[in-house]
Amino acid sequence: MSWLRVLPVVVLVGLAGALAFALLSGNSSSQTDRFVGEPLPRFELEAVDGRSGFVATDLAGTAYLLNVWGSWCPPCEAEHPLLMELADRGIPIYGIAWRDSDENANAFLNRLGNPFSGVVRDPVGTAVIELGVTGAPETFVVDANGIIRARWAGPLTEDVVRRQILPALDTGN
């Protein structure tokens, strides 16, 4: 009869241990998903007013970063200085302003700087849905052949850039 009292505690400790192991054993944002290794979905969006736009199919021949962001997104603002540094290092970055207006996107870029070689608006999330984006910010490494080589959900950090983004970008040329 005493084992019935101990069993719930043993089960609870086991579940807590399994959860701790899952959280500590890997990076949930390493993005082993169906998009990595696949061609970037085709989409055509309008440029943010007054900015250079882009069509992803026209970017063949060069590896680049594709960053989904929004002026309404505090984590996007937090990662923005790192995007500026990457752009200053000559890394091409293209942006999708998700659920944003031209006015708000421009105010954000005017205030913080524009790291994007081209930036388009996805006001209703058409392209974002095709990309499988779960939230902003999200960054994709796209190789010279238009294949997604890496994906990072959440704000970029120096560690993420060093360990995941740059290695994928180097293999994408």
How confident is the model over 127-168, as pLDDT tens digits?
999 999 999 999 999 999 999 999 999 999 999 999 999 999
**Is residue 148, in this structure, part of any structural domain at all?**
yes
Percent of the chain residues topping a pLDDT of 90: 76
Handedness of CA 73, 78, 81, 87 (dihedral sign): negative
Average pLDDT in the 57-79 region? Answer: 97
β-sheet bridge partners, residue 119: 95
Close Cβ partners of 63 (under 8 Å, ≥ 6 residues apart): 92, 141, 142, 143, 144, 149, 169, 172, 173
Query: pLDDT per residue over 91-134, tens digit each?
Result: 999 999 999 999 999 999 999 999 999 999 999 999 999 999 99
Number of domains in the chain: 1
Domain CATH code at residue 73: 3.40.30.10
φ, ψ of residue 8 to 5 degrees: the values are -60, -35
144: its two tokens: 């010279």
- 47 domain residue, yes or no: yes
In a domain, 53, yes or no: yes
Residue that has been written with the tokens 């902003």 in this structure: 136
164 within some domain: yes
pLDDT mean across residues, the chain: 87
In a domain, 4, yes or no: no
Where in the sequence is the domain holding 78, given as residue range(s)? 29-171
Asked if the model's pLDDT at residue 43 lies above 80, the reply is yes
On whether residue 3 sits in a domain, the answer given is no
Give the DSSP H/E element, type plus range, for residue 7.
helix 2-25
Q: Above 50 in pLDDT, residue 27?
A: no
The whole-model pTM stands at: 0.81
Say how far apart CA 139 and CA 116 lie, in whole Å: 13
